[in-house]
Amino acid sequence: MSDYAVVNPATGETLATYPTITDEALEAAIAGADAAYRTWRTTSVDERAARIRKVADLHRERRDELAEIIVREMGKPLQAALGEVDFAADITQYYADHADRITGDQPLEIDGEGTAVIRRTPLGVLLGIMPWNFPYYQVARFAAPNLVVGNTILLKHAPQCPESAAAIEKIYADAGLGAEYTNIYATNDQAATVIADRRVQGVSVTGSERAGAAVAEIAGRNLKKVALELGGSDPFILLSTDDLDATVEAAVAARLDNNGQSCNAAKRFIVVEGLYDAFLEKFTAAMAGAKVGDPFADDTVLGPLSSLTAAERLAAQVDNAVAQGATLVAGGERDGAYYPGTVLTGVTSDMDAYREEFFGPVGVVYKVADEDEAVALANDTSFGLGSYVFTTDEEQAQRIADKIDAGMVYVNVVLADEPALPFGGVKRSGTAREMGFLAADEFVNKKLIRVGA
């Protein structure tokens, strides 16, 4: 049986299966993408941008249909699914609107006579290996900038997202892109074959540390550019506030977004001791009160996790934390693939939970004495994706932003991603940036052209 299947996590029902691509069809896909690159790279920037803009338009036209697909595939609440489709459309349009800037020459000041510029030219065929947690958003932030600059795309989506993968490919086809964007239902072994193929110039993977390491190893052996977007255990540091209720609301939103299954979700809540008790009380009440239910219902906050396996894994992590001495303040009882808002305290550095990423609606709350202890705790992790700082002291905010080892720092705001803002981390959270202008620089040849007088 194929690994690619739509299994509704709310019911456990298998709704559809999709056949894995044959080796012959995979070879044809690679050849087609390579041939398409030869003409796509010479297509005018305006024409490439126009087709990518059409992709954004089609996301908006098919908004309801697209959202319903991913509710079935991975349990995302409907309102969140609609928001994801909207964001994917905005990201795609952003690159169409800024095509001239991301492909334009960059003049250099030189000492000698003549001119020098950096000209950004495409590399060729790229492989994207995408995760299940944001089936449209993740594809948009990889595919849109790279197609605008002239690369072509082979897209391997997560095995539990085959229906959304097909829907995205149909959008690109209807926007006038054929072999420039090709969906492949490939196995991991076949993906390794794609990476090794001489016609493929790079690979981008968003997923777990394990997946990233495996892909990077293959890419390294074959001297291919690799972009990694991996996990996170983002700190939420609270040092002062004029409105504790609003701060708690932000903390809960940052933890429960996408059923808690977001790489850059706030996961460790580091609170100065003067606010700790009040924060913990309010945070616990809000987490415990988050409605768990039918992901198609408008008032549902938490649908099921992406799969029964994901829920079992999260429950095992929480149970292990308690067995090692942590305190379960709220939640912690799994019901099939559903898992409630859960709060842990008393986690210490000798526990597994101190180092792990909880990929679900679990928040770990820590008490610290001051700013220095907060920063030390925030940085005491192998991850370095995002971070959140809440303080009324502007100078303190800037000090902490400088000290935190992370790719992103958000001060007094959460869920503030925008197409123009680069996304990515350091340490074991990854090696690249997506979104913003930095994304368009990941897979291009920054070619120096020096002309004498």
> Whole-angstrom Cα distance, residue 165 to residue 323?
40
Bridge partners of residue 342, in order along the sequence: 362
Q: Report the first-to-last Cα separation within the chain, whole angstroms.
A: 66
> Whole-angstrom Cα distance, residue 160 to residue 135?
10
Identify which of 255, 227, 405 has the alpha carbon closest to the alpha carbon of residue 340: 255
Residue 335, class by beta-carbon neighbours within 10 Å (0-12 exposed, 13-18 middle, 19+ buried)?
A: exposed
> Whole-angstrom Cα distance, residue 274 to residue 278?
9
φ, ψ dihedrals at 338, nearest 5°: -85, 140
Q: Which structure tokens are listed for 373?
A: 């202890």
> Whole-angstrom Cα distance, residue 135 to residue 78?
14
> Whole-angstrom Cα distance, residue 427 to residue 230?
10
Helix and strand counts by DSSP (H, E) for the chain: 15, 17
> Whole-angstrom Cα distance, residue 292 to residue 340?
6
Q: With contact defined as beta carbons under 8 Å apart, do 3 and 187 qualify? A: yes
CA angle, residues 360, 300, 142, in degrees to nearest 5: 55
Q: With contact defined as beta carbons under 8 Å apart, do 238 and 272 qualify? A: yes
Set 229, 356, 371, 442: catalytic member = 229
The SS3 of residue 28 is helix
Q: Which residues of 341-361 are buried (b: 16+ CB within 10 A; e: fewer)?
A: bbbbbbbeeebebbebbbbbb
The SS3 of residue 243 is coil
Set 73, 169, 180, 263: catalytic member = 263
Identify which of 249, 107, 85 has the alpha carbon closest to the alpha carbon of residue 171: 85
> Whole-angstrom Cα distance, residue 264 to residue 37?
33
Annotated catalytic residue 229: yes
Annotated catalytic residue 163: no
What residues are labeled active site?
Answer: 229, 263
